[in-house]
Amino acid sequence: MYKQKTLKNGLRLILSPLKETQAVTVLVLVGVGSRHEEKQINGISHFIEHMMFKGTNKRPTSLDITKELDSVGASFNAFTSKDHTGYYIKISSDKVELAFDLLSDMLFYSKYNEVEINKEKGVIIEEINMYEDNPLMSIDHFIENTIYGDNSLGWLISGSREVIKSINQEKILKYINEYYQPANMIVTVAGNFNVSKVQTLTKKYFLEQVKSSKAKDYKKIKLNQDKQKIQIKYKKTEQVMLALGFLGYSFFHKNYYAQTLLAVILGGNMSSRLFTEIREKRGLAYFVRADAHAFKDTGSFIVMAGLDKTRINPAIALILQELKKIKNDGVTAKELKSAKEFIKGKLILELEDSESIADWYGKQELLTGKMLTPEQKLKKVMAVKLSDIQKVAKDIFKQNKINLALIGPYKDKKSFEKLLKI
């Protein structure tokens, strides 16, 4: 169960009390991510997330922040995605005010010291290096860049080294002023807490001290792919990282839930079609999976695999053959039922603690503006029919809409073009 309230400054508060725990999670979601950026500041959303932990007027250094949280055994972190940024503290319920105090202090009173900014540039550049050196970590971005191209959804969340080097205090403060507004924030509290007390704390730390204005919106994109796209990144490796991607559906599309179930059936678990055919029967890959990703205005359907470089061609052909089977023949009633039960079971496990529940409600409100309980969401999943799955496969898996991204010891795209048949 949850309660929802909007403060005078536009900040949205979501409360989900739990009696079965002694912990509480306070999560602040901000409606800004890398897709809100211009190319000359690409990576600034992620940079700001890092800088939030570098000191405030009240807590001058990063050590002052971390020591205060460590002293009470709190769990804390932050994350940046394409369309949102999040900051959370999970803490003993009797220390809930500390979570509010610290989060509001970081969000509204961080110093963004130039010395710390320059130090953090090196940290983030090393993070970029880490991802680039690891094909398993970088293939996600590579296929998204192949699908979405040269726009904010196709850019790195971390940005490029060149842009990171150019970020300064002036750019950071301008960006924060545009997006870090209470009207562009959601505070979600889940766990063992007193509702009245938390409402009072929210007003104290997020209303009385902060004025608000409307944040800038992102630029919607419309992609009409009419031919296949292939990108290859040469890297001398023993294993090839492969991703096949297609344009998919947004959060609001009528086939959103069918797309989710299709991903489960194809490559969502260890009994899925791709895992069984590619790994178990033929030993072509250590891992293979399918995922559906959604945004407010678009989405993608992606199959990834780490493959034996000597058998890359038959592996690609086999993956596409499995997609073609579902497109032409659909799935069985047993497969669909199992996929639905899989989603149900995973959801039950995911919502076992306060952190997951805060994330569940907060992201729904931020990204879709609609609040569904787990039961309401499962009802939509269970309503998907066999015909819906095949309809989605036919709509998404089209010959001229295949996107292929490869990281491995290859340079020539032409050798792969003849394989891309579906």
Q: For 110, which DSSP code? A: B
Phi and psi at 244, nearest 5°, equal -110, 125
**Strands laid side by side in the 23-30 sheet:** 3-6, 12-17, 185-191, 23-30, 85-92, 75-80
E strand or H helix at 88: strand 85-92
Beta bridge partners of 231: 405
Angle between helices 312-329 and 386-396 (to 10 degrees): 130
Q: Are 132 and 8 in contact (CB under 8 A)?
A: no
Identity (one letter) of the amino acid at 322?
Answer: E
Residue located via tokens 């602040």: 28
355 is an active site residue: no
What angle is formed at CA 73 by the lines to CA 70 and CA 78, rounded to 5 degrees? 70
Residue 250 DSSP code: -
- Identified catalytic residue from 20, 37, 38, 49: 49
Residue with tokens 């069985």: 332
Do 65 and 53 touch, CB atoms closer than 8 A?
Answer: yes
Neighbours of 365 (CB within 10 A): 17
Write down how long the chain is: 422
CB 199 within 8 A of CB 32: no
C-alpha pair distances (Å), 123 with each of 47, 105, 165, 316 = 10, 23, 11, 37
332 burial (CB, 10 Å; 0-12 / 13-18 / 19+) is exposed
β-strands 185-191, 12-17 pairing = parallel
Q: Give the whole-angstrom CA distance, residue 355 versus residue 18.
A: 11
Nearest to 188 by CA among 376, 384, 5: 5
Sheet holding 299-308, edge to edge: 229-234, 403-408, 239-247, 299-308, 285-294
Which amino acid is located at 2 in the chain? Y
Q: Give the active site residues.
A: 49
